[in-house]
Amino acid sequence: MESGCRVSHYWRGYELGLYSKFRIYPYLAPRNYIKRPSRGSREQQLRRTIAAGFPQVSSSHPNAPMVADCFSQQEDDREFQLEGSSPVAGGIVALGKFDALHIGHRELAIQASKAGSPFLLSFVGMAEVLGWESRAPIVAKCDRKRVLSSWAPYCGNVVPLEFEVEFSNVRHLTPRQFVERLSKELKVSGVVAGENYRFGYKASGDAAELVKLCKEYGLGAYIVSSIMDKSQCSSDGRSKSCDLRERGQVSSTRVRHALAEGDMKYVSELLGRSHRVMLTMDGNCFGNINRMSAPKSCLLNQPPKEGVYENCILLVDHVYVGPCKLMIDETDIHVELNGVEGTQAWVPFRDCQLLGIEFSDTGGD
């Protein structure tokens, strides 16, 4: 691995032996935020953890700085084998896409945490299978653990874990086959879904059928009412952000439209937090003492539209640096630190250094 790159406590995933169609992405939280069954002494647990290659987290604060998710290709491709057991056995899985991790998704996680150990189950690889246009995620992969950790206070001080399913392996399943797999193969205790959730081949199953099938297979089913956008697409000029099929429902589509319009206050309302753009430093980045520029190719998630964004916050490797101003043009982004003259914030550059810019609740100029 290149010098300057630090391995995070984000686990890339597990390819599950018997359950090889599914991959789990756990996000570690501070120890007092995770409920774990007691299995022997603390020393024995620590030994098992180290033997499994799971790094420890020493902080006790949910918003404590995390080390950067900067992997070599070899580490990024590493897969840990689990034999004979389902990592979500006995858990409650919330069903959805979870691209934006917005307040509607958080509500599903809250309900799952009330019923048991919460997991977010989503499909990956849909764009490739269905021929959708590739686009940047709303939340950078390396930033998802921070967002999920911030949900812990809403979820009984438990951080929801993410469980991802390869869409190509389940796309042809009927609604019954899908629920059967949840029950018999993954051995979950129950599911949580929104009232408009569709599942099964060609989205043939709805929430009512999900409840019916779960009852047949002895699973709990919890249907959550849609979280509605408070603006309701009324007279606030946000009609472009509205999809009539969603009838005012908070959605990832709305978040994308709001970002495209540079309406950061609206983005914050939908997300339940300030949006954070992540980028990786490389040899194409340049700057001086308190200003740096980077091509948009360094971005890891969707930025707002071109413009100037004041009162932002800069973080390097998830560690707070200070207030900054962000300028986005057609090809590059420019970050100007406020009140840090005389510091060497950008010198020297390090490949794989992870930068985050968190926006205030104001739009661009």
pLDDT tens for each residue of 1-28: 433 333 222 233 333 333 334 444 443 3
261 and 281 share a domain?
no
Nearest to 26 by CA among 104, 80, 106: 80
CA distance 44 to 42: 5
Q: What's 159's DSSP letter?
A: P
9 occurs within a structural domain:
no
Mean pLDDT of 150-161: 97
Q: Is the peptide bond before 87 cis (omega within 30 degrees of 0)?
A: no
Domain residues for the domain of 111 are 14-224
Residue type, 196: N
4 occurs within a structural domain:
no
Using DSSP bridges, classify how beta strands 319-328 and 307-316 pair: parallel, antiparallel or unpaired: antiparallel
Each residue of 233-284: pLDDT tens digit?
533 444 444 444 445 889 999 999 999 999 999 999 999 999 999 998 776 6
Task: Supply φ then ψ for residue 326, to 5 degrees.
Answer: -115, 130
Each residue of 205-233: pLDDT tens digit?
999 999 999 999 999 999 999 999 876 55
91 occurs within a structural domain:
yes
User: Three-class SS of residue 333?
Assistant: strand
243 and 164 share a domain?
no
80 and 201 share a domain?
yes
Contact call for residues 231 and 202 (beta carbons, < 8 A): no
197 and 145 share a domain?
yes
Give me the torsion for CA of 58, 40, 50, 73, rounded to 10°.
Answer: -90
256 and 327 share a domain?
no
CA distance 109 to 191: 11
266 and 284 share a domain?
no
CA distance 52 to 26: 14
Contact call for residues 259 and 344 (beta carbons, < 8 A): no
Pull the structure tokens for residue 8. Answer: 């995070």
Contact call for residues 346 and 292 (beta carbons, < 8 A): yes
365 occurs within a structural domain:
no
Q: pLDDT band for position 182 (50/70/90)?
A: very high
114 occurs within a structural domain:
yes
301 and 164 share a domain?
no
pLDDT at 340 over 50: yes
CA distance 170 to 256: 27
Nearest to 98 by CA among 271, 332, 345: 271
CA distance 124 to 93: 16
CATH number at residue 105: 3.40.50.620
181 and 43 share a domain?
yes
Nearest to 119 by CA among 27, 210, 39: 27
Q: How many residues does the chain have?
A: 365
82 and 177 share a domain?
yes
209 and 60 share a domain?
yes
Least confident of 146-150, 268-272, 336-340: 336-340
CA distance 291 to 343: 11
Each residue of 74-127: pLDDT tens digit?
333 323 333 447 889 999 999 998 999 999 999 999 999 999 999 999 888 777
Is the pTM higher than 0.85? The answer reads no
Mean pLDDT for the chain? 75
- Number of domains forming the structure of the chain: 3
Mean pLDDT of 315-321: 88
CA distance 203 to 187: 23
CA distance 141 to 277: 11
Contact call for residues 255 and 100 (beta carbons, < 8 A): yes
